[in-house]
Structure 1
Amino acid sequence: MATVTQFAERKNFTQADETRPFAKGRLDVVNVGGHTIGRAVFEPGWKWSECVKPIAKTESCQAAHLGYVISGRMTVVTDDGKTLDFGPGDAMSLPPGHDAWIVGNEPCVVVDFVGFENYAKRT
């Protein structure tokens, strides 16, 4: 069953509740309507296994993602070997267990509605 939003609220990523920097990128997080939404900016050369793995301390990304790619290109490889390429306008659903990297020379901007609550969160 889907979680229902209980109240109206507006927030803007330019004034995020939290910004989490990591190598070659950052995550802006807003908590709105009782939900956490993240906007990530991944710079050219970013790769999860090099830039976020040291923070997560897991062999692959263990966050599930339900998101939308605004700009740039990203390749994802799941732990079971499936490869997916994402670009502007693509919606994505990814289960835990994957690596990802940026393709090309343009930053990749992704809005995620599920998986960024604890993503790149330093403990």
Structure 2
Amino acid sequence: MTGILHKSFKSADETRPFEAHKGELALLETGHGPVGLAVFEPGWQWSKHVKPIAGTDSCEAQHVGYVQSGRMKIVMDDGESAEIGPGELVEVAPGHDAWVVGDEPCVMLDWAGSGDYAKPVGS
């Protein structure tokens, strides 16, 4: 690795679209693992737009992310929930559903759980 890694999400190493054109995940590979920038469109819900891709009952990725814009509701399998918004850091354990709140896209940077997120089963 060189001393400086310089990449742009505009020319991501990989892009994974969500079902029904409800957003996408752009991935950049780094020496410390992948970093993802996700855009979740209004109406997006994990159980509707990523579950068919992931093939699991709930999201099994652990996330450490930063919300740039928009709002999202996250509900753990045990019922614990939180609504997150711009300027907030969030850490979410595996076993959850989530959806966009309101009519603005939720844009989130994720540097822990994006490597396998929205990756088609068997890939």
Q: Same fold (TM over 0.5)?
A: yes
**Structure 1 Cα separation of the partners of residues 90 and 114 of structure 2:** 14
Is it true that 1:8 corresponds to 2:1 in the alignment? no
**Structure 2 portions without partners, runs of 5+:** none
Residues 82-109 of structure 1: per-residue CA shift (max 9 Å, x gap):
0110000010000000000000000000
* Bigger share in strand: 1
Aligned equivalents of 1:16, 1:35: Cα separation in 2 = 14
The counterpart of 2:17, out of the listed 15, 21, 30, is: 21
Number of aligned residues? 119
Moved over 4 A (4+): none
The letter of the residue matching 1:118 is D
Q: Percent identity?
A: 54
Between 1:94-103 and 1:5-14, the stretch displaced more is 5-14
TM-score, with length taken from structure 1 = 0.92
Match of 1:40 in 2: 38
Structure 1: 5+ residue stretches without partners: none
When the two chains are superposed, the root-mean-square deviation of aligned CA atoms in Å is 1.4
Structure 1 position 34, deviation (Å): 3.5
